[in-house]
């Protein structure tokens, strides 16, 4: 019985004695090309300066001019939404559209997140801080001791109380 070789025999007179596999991708090729690296650097610099110009002096982006919901309404934890004093007419439409809440599967007007634990809340599950007005969830108020349900207070305001 003749032995069958699974590999091809290497010819001795071949010029390709030692061959190795190499993995070359576009990123490696670009890193060795000076012109391509200059293009990447110029584009990165352009994008950075463009983002810096769109950033206004208040430290907020021009795209996020939408007012925060906690600046417009007060929540009392039982589903009642009160308008903040001094706001006659709301320019935002978020209050007039009912959506399904992430926290309790109810149709709600206000949907935000707790300033302490960052869990979603709605007008039925949330309170407004008595001092600054930012939203707190009922778990932070009742379980973690952020004030009482009559006088809820966020962690930042509790430092100065």
Whether residue 50 is found in the same domain as residue 117: no
Whether residue 103 is found in the same domain as residue 127: yes
Whether residue 105 is found in the same domain as residue 152: yes
**What DSSP string runs through 25-80?**
-HHHHHHH-HHHHHHHHHHHHHHHHHHHHHB-TTSSBGGG-SPPGGGTEEEBSSS-
Q: What is the pLDDT of residue 42?
A: 94
Domain count, the chain: 2
Whether residue 46 is found in the same domain as residue 124: no
How far apart CA 46 and CA 54 sit, in angstroms, is: 12
Whether residue 75 is found in the same domain as residue 149: yes
Of 101, 147, 145, which Cα lies nearest the Cα of 121? 101
Q: What is the pLDDT of residue 85?
A: 61
Whether residue 155 is found in the same domain as residue 78: yes
Token pair listed for 65: 């001019």
Token pair listed for 147: 């004030």
Q: What is the pLDDT of residue 43?
A: 93
| Residue-number span of the structural domain to which 143 is assigned | 69-159
pLDDT one digit per residue (tens) for the chain, 161 residues: 567 767 766 666 666 656 667 777 888 887 888 898 899 899 999 988 888 887 755 455 544 555 666 667 777 776 677 766 655 555 555 556 777 777 787 887 787 888 888 888 888 888 888 888 888 888 888 776 666 777 888 888 877 76
Q: Which residues make Cβ contacts (< 8 Å) with residue 5, sequence separation at least 6? A: none
The radius of gyration of the chain's CA atoms, rounded to the nearest angstrom, is: 31
Q: What is the pLDDT of residue 98?
A: 73
Whether residue 78 is found in the same domain as residue 151: yes
Domain end position, chosen among 43, 63, 83: 63
pTM metric for this prediction: 0.48
């Amino acid at each position: 019985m003749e032995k069958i070789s699974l590999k091809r025999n290497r010819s001795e007179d071949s010029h390709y004695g030692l061959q190795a596999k190499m993995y070359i991708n576009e990123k490696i090729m670009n890193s060795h090309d000076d012109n391509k690296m200059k293009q990447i650097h110029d584009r990165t610099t352009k994008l950075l300066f463009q983002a810096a110009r769109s950033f206004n002096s208040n430290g907020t982006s021009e795209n996020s001019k939408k007012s925060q919901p906690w600046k417009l309404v007060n929540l009392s934890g039982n589903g009642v939404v009160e308008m903040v004093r001094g706001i006659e007419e709301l320019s935002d439409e978020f209050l007039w559209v009912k959506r399904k809440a992430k926290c309790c599967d109810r149709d709600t007007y206000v949907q935000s997140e707790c300033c302490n634990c960052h869990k979603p809340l709605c007008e039925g599950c949330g309170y407004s801080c008595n001092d600054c007005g930012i939203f707190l969830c009922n778990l932070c108020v009742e379980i973690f001791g952020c004030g009482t349900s009559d006088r809820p207070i966020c962690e930042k305001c509790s430092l100065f109380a």
